[in-house]
Amino acid sequence: MSLPKNPSSQPKVLFVDDEDSILSSAKRLFRGKGIELITASSPHEALSTLHQHDFDAVVSDFRMASMTGTEFLEKVKIEKPLTSRLLLTGYNDNQIIMDAVNRAAVFKFISKPWIDSELLLAVEAAVQHALRKKTNAKLIHEIGEQNQKLEVLSQNLESEVVSRTQSIEDSRSQAEIKERSVKELVAFVKNLSQVSTAAELYETINQEIWRYHGVLTLYFLFLHGAEKGKIYWTQSRTLHEKTVSPRASHFKDLNIRFNHQDDRQWWVESLKKEPIQLAAIPVRGRESNQNGPLALIFLDHNLKPEMLNQLMDRMTERLQVMTIVLDKILLAEQLIMATEQWQATFSAFSDPIAVVDNQENVIRANRTFYKDKKRQCYEMFDDREEICGGCPMPQATLTMEPATGIVQQSEKKIFRVNSYPVKAATRNFEQVVRVVNHYTDVTQERELYLKLVQSEKLAAVGLLAGNIAHELNNPLSGLRSMAQVLKSESPENSTMYQDLDEIEKASIRCQDIIRNVLSFSETSEDGKVASVDVNSVVEGTLPLLKSSLRYQSLELNLASDLPQAFAQPSSLQQVIFNLLNNACQAMPNGGVIVITTWKKKNEVGITIEDNGPGIPEDILKTIFEPFFTTKSEGQGTGLGLSISKGIIEKFKGRLVAESAVGKGTKFNIVLKKA
Amino acid sequence: MKVLIVDDEVIIGRAIQRAFVAAGHEVSLAHTGIEGLEKWQNTKPDVVFLDVIMPGLTGPQVIEEFKKRNNGKTIDTHIFLMSAHSDVNQEDRAKAAGADGFIPKPFENIFDIVKKAESAIRKGDIK
């Protein structure tokens, strides 16, 4: 092994002995030997010197005044462990050697007095040993340092990798979040596109916030103008709605509000409950000319601020699309409202009304128009397979002008139909696209009209009968007169005379009939009310009834001392005839008719009684109404009783009916005594 | 006396004729107004019975025409109008038309007419 060339890097050795001569001889020995020898005359001096230089070896005498060499070297071991320690001792004592090795880890023992070459070799070996130890220590230290550096490096690298990985993962999850939120937004928009009512919109928004557990209830207030609104919410999974008055002026505000005092106050007043935390999100309509919002979303919640913000971000993101939907809903609601109004107006008509298109399909009809919902107007109106006869619809379509017609339902109801064409311009020319049909029930009107026609006919027949009677009278006079003349020329007992007498009698009978027909056909206005012998009027009526009285028998109870009554003979006769005729017709298979005349105070009466089937009570009330009849067509006009009543009342009298079903009917003509 | 009966109803004419003939009077018959007018002119009857309603000239028209033909001179014939269209005013209307009396149809007794005519003639003597 070679010592370092650089003198500054010469090995340094500390030599300690309290005898100066020994120190001097040591100095001499090591001069020029490539070792810098520094001496100390006491352990204390040596210990302080020890810190001033970096010694490779320390040589110490065992026997020193202040402490032993072993004690001293022990301290050196502690202070400078890499420095090699050598002990000079004159004692060959095993105890000392063992102690020095154990306590101070002495590298070599040198016997005193030393042999110079031995000392030199021992010191050089100790220096070498120290140098080796130092080099080792240095190497170990360097390796340690390197290791440490390496460790740091690897640690850095690792954390770099971790952070890189993290950032990659972060960016990926952020992209995922973004993608998900976009997807959710798209889904929301898609859901919204299906929405057409405020309630549906409520459901859609509710789906958006269900995952925010802090939201207790979502409320959706839809404003119908400044005074009216409808609020929707769910409670026990059921959708509730309530009409409210959003009077508060702050509802004009378009900013999101949290726990606003006005909101809360309105809330308590309107919904009678206290919200925990109240967030209000106004939503404006896109094209509505309203100044404020068209709707408000309220959240009753106990969300943490962080979550609330997140939810608000989410809602804000969706406000724009909601705006569009709100307009749609508003329009739909207005449409529904208009439709409802129109429908209500339509149903308010008691007359049937139908809107019908070109193919006779009913577009709309009110409830009185149909029994069952069907396609075609004629199916609905009358269960027909083709258009109703008389329907003016084709004419209205063709002429483009309103048209009128008469339609009869199978149930005999008659309707006047007014068809009003609805025109629309299509491809440059006007066309009737549909027709509004208005039906008026004219059944009664029509029946009255027919009866009137009938009664006019009757009047004409009466007039004709009068004329015929006159025409008959003439030849009849001749016949009668001729019979009289011829009779006068025949012997009274001859067959000729008797035959001529029969001719005369027959002529007289004919003339009686004619006279009665004439008096019957006279209108009541012709005659003046005067004193009338009621009995003779009754008797005068009977010949007219011969054709009616076939199976019925007639009993007469005429009062003998009957005073005269106020009446007009021919009219009174007409009334008696009517009543008797009715009695006959009520008993076509026979029965008894009793005619009684009577007086009572200042009244004179005629009672006509039959033992026919009688008249039920409900019908009895209506028998005096014009055109009331139970007779089949051709048998009566239904005017008889009404006219009769009118006639008697003109005489200041009264016509009264009494009846019992199964027993018969009684009519009393009560007249004023003359 | 001479009697003229104008009636389109043949049997009436013949019945009246028989009644008057039986009473010994001279009777001529006419069945239309025109015929009646001719016979009135030609036979110069004391009594004329005229039916009111006849085809052609009516009873009153026959009287009017007869007066016209006699230039408004007083007619010494007794004129009776007859009709089945009888009412209270017929007597007055008959007088207005220039007749002396009205006989409603049907006749109760044909011989009453004869009596009526005979009494009219007697009164006519005074007239």
Question: Which positions in chain B touch A475 (Cβ < 8 Å)?
Answer: 9, 11-12
Query: Collapsing DSSP states into helix, strand and coil, what is residue A24?
Result: helix
- Is B106 within 8 Å of A488 when comparing Cβ atoms? no
CA dist B101 and B117 (Å) reads: 10
Question: Which positions in chain B touch A477 (Cβ < 8 Å)?
Answer: 9, 12, 84, 105-107
Q: What is the pLDDT of residue B124?
A: 62
How close does chain A come to B80, measured CA to CA in Å? Answer: 16
Q: What is the pLDDT of residue A636?
A: 52
Search chain A and give the residue with CA nearest B109: A481
Predicted ipTM of the assembly? 0.83
Q: What is the pLDDT of residue A525?
A: 46
How close does chain A come to B104, measured CA to CA in Å? Answer: 10
Sign for the CA dihedral angle at A130, A132, A136, A142 comes to: positive
Whether B23 has its CB under 8 Å from any CB of chain A: the answer is no
Q: What is the pLDDT of residue A471?
A: 79
Search chain B and give the residue with CA nearest A485: B19
Q: What angle do CA A44, A45, A46 make, to 5 degrees?
A: 90
Whether B103 has its CB under 8 Å from any CB of chain A: the answer is no
Q: What is the pLDDT of residue A524?
A: 41
- Is A481 within 8 Å of B12 when comparing Cβ atoms? yes
Instruction: State the average pLDDT over residues A501-512.
Output: 86
Q: What is the pLDDT of residue A198?
A: 84
A609 pairs with which residues across the strands?
Answer: A594, A666
How close does chain A come to B67, measured CA to CA in Å? Answer: 27
Cβ atoms of residues A630 and A613 within 8 Å = no
- Is A475 within 8 Å of B16 when comparing Cβ atoms? no
- Is B11 within 8 Å of A482 when comparing Cβ atoms? yes
- Which one of B7, B10, B18 makes the best mutation probe of the A interface by having the most chain A beta carbons within 10 Å? B18
Put simply, the chain B residues between 46 and 65 with a CB less than 8 A from any chain A CB are none
CA dist A441 and A244 (Å) reads: 45
pLDDT band at A8 (very low <50, low <70, confident <90, very high): low
- Is B14 within 8 Å of A475 when comparing Cβ atoms? no
Residue A672 has pLDDT above 60, yes or no: yes
Q: What is the pLDDT of residue A1?
A: 42
A591 Cβ partners below 8 Å, 6+ apart? A551, A552, A553, A583, A610, A611, A612, A664
CA dist A186 and A192 (Å) reads: 10
- Which one of A474, A479, A519 makes the best mutation probe of the B interface by having the most chain B beta carbons within 10 Å? A474
Question: Which positions in chain A touch B16 (Cβ < 8 Å)?
Answer: 481
Whether B16 has its CB under 8 Å from any CB of chain A: the answer is yes
CA dist A45 and A191 (Å) reads: 97
Residue A494 has pLDDT above 50, yes or no: yes
Of A470, A475, A485, the CB nearest to B18: A485
Please give the distance of CA A412 from its chain centroid, rounded to a whole number. 43
A34: left (phi over 0), alpha (psi -120 to 50) or beta: left
Q: Provide the pairing of β-strand B78-83 with B47-51.
A: parallel
- Is B15 within 8 Å of A478 when comparing Cβ atoms? yes
Count of A–B CB contacts within 8 Å? 60
- Is B106 within 8 Å of A481 when comparing Cβ atoms? yes
Question: Which positions in chain A touch B14 (Cβ < 8 Å)?
Answer: 478, 482
Query: Collapsing DSSP states into helix, strand and coil, what is residue B58?
Result: coil
- Is A480 within 8 Å of B106 when comparing Cβ atoms? yes
Question: Which positions in chain A touch B111 (Cβ < 8 Å)?
Answer: 484, 488
- The pLDDT tens digits for A365-404 are 888 888 888 888 898 888 888 888 889 999 999 899 999 9
Question: Which positions in chain B touch A476 (Cβ < 8 Å)?
Answer: 106
- Is A485 within 8 Å of B110 when comparing Cβ atoms? yes
- Which one of B85, B88, B115 makes the best mutation probe of the A interface by having the most chain A beta carbons within 10 Å? B85
- The pLDDT tens digits for A435-459 are 999 999 888 888 788 777 766 666 6
Residue A327 has pLDDT above 90, yes or no: no
- Is B10 within 8 Å of A478 when comparing Cβ atoms? yes
pLDDT band at A634 (very low <50, low <70, confident <90, very high): very low
Instruction: State the average pLDDT over residues A73-78.
Output: 90
Of A470, A478, A488, the CB nearest to B11: A478
CA dist A437 and A393 (Å) reads: 8
- Is A484 within 8 Å of B109 when comparing Cβ atoms? yes
Instruction: State the average pLDDT over residues A238-256.
Output: 81
- The pLDDT tens digits for A362-376 are 988 888 888 888 888
Q: What is the pLDDT of residue B39?
A: 94
A100 Cβ partners below 8 Å, 6+ apart? A62, A69, A70, A73, A87, A106, A109
Whether B22 has its CB under 8 Å from any CB of chain A: the answer is yes
Q: What is the pLDDT of residue A588?
A: 83
- The pLDDT tens digits for A96-135 are 888 888 888 888 888 888 888 888 888 888 888 888 888 8
- Is A474 within 8 Å of B22 when comparing Cβ atoms? no
- The pLDDT tens digits for A546-587 are 777 778 888 999 998 899 999 988 888 888 988 888 888 888
Q: What is the pLDDT of residue A244?
A: 87
Within 10 angstroms of residue A220's Cβ, the number of other Cβ atoms is 24
- Is A478 within 8 Å of B19 when comparing Cβ atoms? no
pLDDT band at A313 (very low <50, low <70, confident <90, very high): confident
Instruction: State the average pLDDT over residues A65-85.
Output: 88
**Lowest-confidence region among A67-71, A253-257, A575-579:** A253-257
Residue A501 has pLDDT above 50, yes or no: yes
Residue A295 has pLDDT above 50, yes or no: yes
Question: Which positions in chain B touch A486 (Cβ < 8 Å)?
Answer: 18
- The pLDDT tens digits for B33-78 are 999 999 999 999 999 999 988 888 889 999 999 988 888 777 789 9
Question: Which positions in chain A touch B105 (Cβ < 8 Å)?
Answer: 473-474, 477
Over pLDDT 70: what percentage of chain A? Answer: 92
Residue B127 has pLDDT above 50, yes or no: no
- Is B106 within 8 Å of A473 when comparing Cβ atoms? yes
